[in-house]
């Protein structure tokens, strides 16, 4: 039997329903925030990621899926979304629009050749946003508020927002110098990778999973002690905005993030539920004021974040939040002679916005009642020959156990009334709207 590739997974059953539910919430949320949807290719020229993500990051040095296409071009399956969205922003001249900032969101699979473990896959889904054109700390705060709002809407309680600042180019440079001075006398204590990082990009040492617990790491200088005045001010503003939005946060000087492109604000949201495991970072992001320029000679600042769907699903499981809509509005029980009427009625119900189903297995009536229960059907419609001759339907309310005889033409109005009283579902916002 051929099996799925290592580090990938199939979606089906309840998980599929939950994912679709979350995707609907995402779309509605991005509409509320007035962000536009962008979709970019799943593979791009390898050079894009080398320039954007950084030559010395683990992602680029160890984790990309690279291949030569049949025209001998070097291609890479995208390990993250930011680089592709920036490429698209530049290539499609979005920077020339008269409405700024350009606020975008995206959703789709990303690929990293990592050692698979809980919360770490080789193909995983990210939802993310990128905001282009604003230097203002308000944009940073808005971006941080998006995952927080999403997690809140989904009912998650155990989350923690951690923020830090890397400062502008000048502050980062000063910090880099301080790191070099700090690690230089201790080079022999560091792993081979870190020795290389020391000469190429000392900031990367702080992300090392091998040397993580060394005393020398714990005593490393902190970015916030090297911020110049402008950078300090920016960071203070971000915090003021978070406070007035009622978003609790902690400052974590250790957050430098595993990608090269950040300046100023960086943040992560972690699941603070006990036993969640080591991959508890639900999402991460920050500001990148030089990245667009590095990729395409257009000097536009950016800020964004991305969250992993798999970790979000795990968090929901840990907090025992069930988002599945496992109910059916109507289940039609047909008889051999009334199948045509059954399928015609199904069509009418579905066009009118009801979730409806019937029996395709020629079950007997008892088995059909059982099936309707398993599907959590609210109403059952018995479609017997006698009833049809009288133009009547037998409708049973599974909640109240009451039975009604209803004229066929009155069925939709009857159901509309019944559901109007109680419907709270996300999609219809309180009423089962008829499809246009």
The residues binding ligand HAM (CB under 6 A) are: 80-82, 112, 114, 119-121, 124, 126, 128, 130, 258-259, 281-286, 304-308, 310-311
CB of 25 to ligand HAM, least distance (A): 17
Nearer CB in complex with ligand HAM: 119/353: 119
CB of 313 to ligand HAM, least distance (A): 10
Nearer CB in complex with ligand HAM: 120/350: 120
CB of 211 to ligand HAM, least distance (A): 20
Burial 330-351 (b: 16+ CB within 10 A, else e): bbbbbbeebbebbeebbeebee
CB of 52 to ligand HAM, least distance (A): 9
CA distance 56 to 200: 7
For 429, what's the count of Cα atoms within 13 Å in the CB-facing half-sphere?
5
**Quick one: DSSP state of residue 307?**
E
CB of 80 to ligand HAM, least distance (A): 3
Q: Which residue is nearest to ligand HAM (CB)?
A: 308
Nearer CB in complex with ligand HAM: 252/396: 252
Q: What is the DSSP string of 229-280?
A: HHHHHHHHHHHHHHHHTT---EE-TT---SSTT-EEEEEEEEE--TT--S--
CB of 328 to ligand HAM, least distance (A): 33
Nearer CB in complex with ligand HAM: 208/388: 208
Nearer CB in complex with ligand HAM: 36/225: 36
Nearer CB in complex with ligand HAM: 256/346: 256
Instruction: Give the Cβ contact number of residue 98 at 10 Å.
Output: 4
Which residues, 6+ apart, have CB-to-CB distance to 194 below 8 Å? 204, 205, 208, 210, 211
Beta bridge partners of 288: 302
CA distance 147 to 247: 11
CA-based nearest residue to 137, from 378, 303, 335: 303
Nearer CB in complex with ligand HAM: 82/290: 82
CA-based nearest residue to 155, from 283, 318, 376: 318
CB of 140 to ligand HAM, least distance (A): 11
CA distance 169 to 202: 15
């Amino acid at each position: 039997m051929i099996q799925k590739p290592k580090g990938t997974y199939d979606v089906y059953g309840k998980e599929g329903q939950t994912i679709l539910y979350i995707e609907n919430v995402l779309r509605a949320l991005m509409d509320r925030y007035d962000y536009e949807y962008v979709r970019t290719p799943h593979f791009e020229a390898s050079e894009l990621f080398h320039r954007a993500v950084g030559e010395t990051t683990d992602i680029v040095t160890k984790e990309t899926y690279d291949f030569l296409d049949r025209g001998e071009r070097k291609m890479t399956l995208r390990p993250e979304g930011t680089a592709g969205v920036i490429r698209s922003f530049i290539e499609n001249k979005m920077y020339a629009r008269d409405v700024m900032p350009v606020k975008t969101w995206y959703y789709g699979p990303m690929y990293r050749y990592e050692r698979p473990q809980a919360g770490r896959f080789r193909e995983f889904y990210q939802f993310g946003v990128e905001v282009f054109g604003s230097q203002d700390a308000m944009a940073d705060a808005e971006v941080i508020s998006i995952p927080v709002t999403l997690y809140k809407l989904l009912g998650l309680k155990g989350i923690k927002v951690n923020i830090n600042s890397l400062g502008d180019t000048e502050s980062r440079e000063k910090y880099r110098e301080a790191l070099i001075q700090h690690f230089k006398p201790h080079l022999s204590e560091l792993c081979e990778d870190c020795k290389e990082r020391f000469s190429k990009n000392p900031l990367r040492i702080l992300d090392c999973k091998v040397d993580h617990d060394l005393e020398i790491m714990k005593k490393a200088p902190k970015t916030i002690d090297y911020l110049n005045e402008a950078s300090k001010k920016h960071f203070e503003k971000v915090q003021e905005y978070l406070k007035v939005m009622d978003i609790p946060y902690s400052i974590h000087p250790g957050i430098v993030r595993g990608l090269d492109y950040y300046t100023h604000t960086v943040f992560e949201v972690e699941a603070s539920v006990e036993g969640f495991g080591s991959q508890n970072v639900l999402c991460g992001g920050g500001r990148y004021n030089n990245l667009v320029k590095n990729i395409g000679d257009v000097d536009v600042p950016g800020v964004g974040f991305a969250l992993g769907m798999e970790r979000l699903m795990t968090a929901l499981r840990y907090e025992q939040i069930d988002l599945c809509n496992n109910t059916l509005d109507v289940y039609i029980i047909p008889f051999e002679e009334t199948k045509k009427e059954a399928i015609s009625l199904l069509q009418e119900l579905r066009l009118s916005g009801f979730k409806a189903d019937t029996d395709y297995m020629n079950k007997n009536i008892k088995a059909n009642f059982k099936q309707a229960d398993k599907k959590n059907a609210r109403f059952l419609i018995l479609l017997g020959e006698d009833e049809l001759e009288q133009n009547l339907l037998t409708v049973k309310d599974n909640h109240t156990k009451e039975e009604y005889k209803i004229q066929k033409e009155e069925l939709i109005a009857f159901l509309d009334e019944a559901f109007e009283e109680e419907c709270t579902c996300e999609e219809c916002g309180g009423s089962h709207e008829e499809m246009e």
